[in-house]
Structure 1
Amino acid sequence: STSSTNPIPSVPVKNEVDHWSDADEQRRAKKYTSATKTVMEQAAMALAAAHDVRLSILLPTGMYGPVILPEHMQGNPQVWLKRLIEGGEGRHQQIPNNSSSMIHLHDLAALFLAAYENPAASGRYFGVYDSWHWQDIYAELQKLLPTMQMPAPIEGTPVTPTGFDTTRRDSLGVPVRDIPTLLKDTVEWLKTDPFKA
């Protein structure tokens, strides 16, 4: 998860080699899942180094696209996108002044496979295409679902989305779908009622 790559102070563009979250700060902020991810990654890297084991870690956030099991429909983003398609409320009542990072599940799987198959691959790799502000995400979704229920607009000046240096990700040689494409693919797949719910 990219939650292990949030340095303090924050940086405009982060990379997965130099930037780590502070697990103690994450615990103080009651971000226990994020703190656990940070600690586990550091422990795995130390163990791999101590035993001369090649370790590649992919760091995704929002995972869009077709899921495998019906139970996966109960998680984000599928659950709230399905509600939007059905005319209900999406993830937010008001657009948050924040951004979200995302990737298509098929691209993430291809990145995992590329890292596994490449004997030179090791270390951390961002498993994201990019990050968009939530107002841009909802605007793109409205192009796909013109009658969707829009959340109330944000208040204030929009924050700058999280910036990622994807040089290492790109070194794996996997083409990654852009955000409009992954949103479109996900919405179109959900409209097929894949598990005949």
Structure 2
Amino acid sequence: MSNSKQNDVVCVTGGSGCIGSWLVRLLLDRRYTVHATVKNLNDDKETAHLRALEGADTRLRLFQIDLLDYDSIVAAVSGCAGVFHLASPCIVDRVLDPQKELLDPAVKGTINVLTAAKAAGVRRVVVTSSVAAIIPSPNWPADKVKAEECWTDVEYCKQKELWYSLSKTLAEQAAWDFSKESGLDVVVVNPGPVLGPVIPPTLNASMLLLVRLLQGSNETYEDIWMGLVHFKDVAVAHILVYENPSASGRHLCVEDISHFGDFVGKVAELYPEYNVPRLPRDTQPGLLRTKDAGKKLMELGLQFIPMEEIIKDSVESLKSKGFIS
């Protein structure tokens, strides 16, 4: 791993979220100086856990940004060698105004961040996309494992009102278009649902999904599940693709490609005391399982934490923080 970058100043948009907090923590551990962005500097739920991280007192600066306010982003990325763009709304339940709630902040926000990064002379931008930009892809060959070259079907998302998937797909496509036109060095990480020990006082959508599952929800997340990944692994993946000059393109970031039914079965086995529903093993029609889905990241040195450990870390974190009893 390149040591030359570890004294860099870097910006993490969405630094207060579950993934962002882990990334800020690991960057501080690696001696980076971090500009972390939040929505509201006066909200302790966004800031207190970041200020409590080791190294935060000397190497963390917090910035309040609005993804649709370009000038607020300029201030956060000024003086940075690298940018990690995580901030994007994640709503997987019903959305009343998809353009305002999801599409504009995701797509226009990404363009604003990349434009500010280009103007500031940033060396590399790591964009956090999602498996939601890889699936649903109903026209993908049935006998071929889904990988980085697979893209979500935009028209299918519009038909089925899968607004989150649409927002992540359009935002990632906009990032690649911007990179091609401007010459800005962009690399992308595409995590699956991200679980594990939670640093902030609030939960991300994937951890809420686990809470619902433990309470007996029998949803199967047919169009958005492709396997899961640990918070720490997603943070490490971001740092690996930033620090390795050879890293390029998209990086599928899941422990394995697996079905939601595999996950549910393992949760039920590990925690029989909870009201976990009995679901069929095959919950994602046509999704081929594979053990080395994240091989691009593995080649950069990432060793994925296995599903069983992710589940245990997640449930114990939910218990310790009082989200479940």
Do Structure 1 and Structure 2 share a fold, with TM-score over 0.5?
A: yes
For residue 182 of structure 1, report the CA deviation from its aligned partner. Answer: 0.8
Identity across the alignment (%): 27
Q: Which letter does structure 1 place at the counterpart of 2:273?
A: T
Measure, in 2, the Cα distance between the counterparts of 1:38 and 1:158. Answer: 19
Deviations 1:71-102 (A, max 9, x none): 22xx4333354466xxx62442xx63955421
Given candidates 154, 163, 168, the residue that maps to 1:32 is: 163
Q: Which letter does structure 1 place at the counterpart of 2:170?
A: V
Tell me if structure 1 keeps the 8 A contact 2:261–2:281: no
Q: Which of the two has higher C-alpha Rg?
A: 2
Q: Which letter does structure 2 place at the counterpart of 1:111?
A: A
Tell me if structure 2 keeps the 8 A contact 1:65–1:104: yes
> Could you tell me which residue of structure 1 aligns to residue 131 of structure 2?
2
Cα RMSD after superposing both structures: 3.0
Using a 3 Å threshold, how does the CA distance of structure 1 residues 42 and 159 change in structure 2: closer, same or farther? closer
Unaligned runs of 5+ in 1: none
TM-score where L is the length of structure 2: 0.51
Q: After superposing the two structures, state which structure 1 stretch, 35-44 or 183-192, moved more.
A: 183-192
> Could you tell me which residue of structure 1 aligns to residue 152 of structure 2?
21
> Could you tell me which residue of structure 1 aligns to residue 320 of structure 2?
192
For residue 181 of structure 1, report the CA deviation from its aligned partner. Answer: 1.5
Superposition pairs of residues 130-141 of structure 1, within 5 angstroms: 130-141=256-267
TM-score where L is the length of structure 1: 0.80
User: Whose relative contact order is higher, 1 or 2, with alpha carbons under 8 Å and at least 6 apart?
Assistant: 1
Superposition pairs of residues 9-158 of structure 1, within 5 angstroms: 9-11=139-141, 12-16=144-148, 18-72=149-203, 75-82=204-211, 89-92=215-218, 96=220, 98=222, 100-154=226-280
Q: After superposing the two structures, state which structure 1 stretch, 46-55 or 136-145, moved more.
A: 136-145
Using a 3 Å threshold, how does the CA distance of structure 1 residues 103 and 24 change in structure 2: closer, same or farther? same
Secondary structure in 2 matching 1:150: coil
Measure, in 2, the Cα distance between the counterparts of 1:91 and 1:35. Answer: 25
Q: Which letter does structure 2 place at the counterpart of 1:145?
A: Y
Matched residues, number: 189
For residue 135 of structure 1, report the CA deviation from its aligned partner. Answer: 3.1
Measure, in 1, the Cα distance between the counterparts of 2:212 and 2:156. Answer: 35
Unaligned runs of 5+ in 2: 1-129
Measure, in 2, the Cα distance between the counterparts of 1:71 and 1:193. Answer: 10
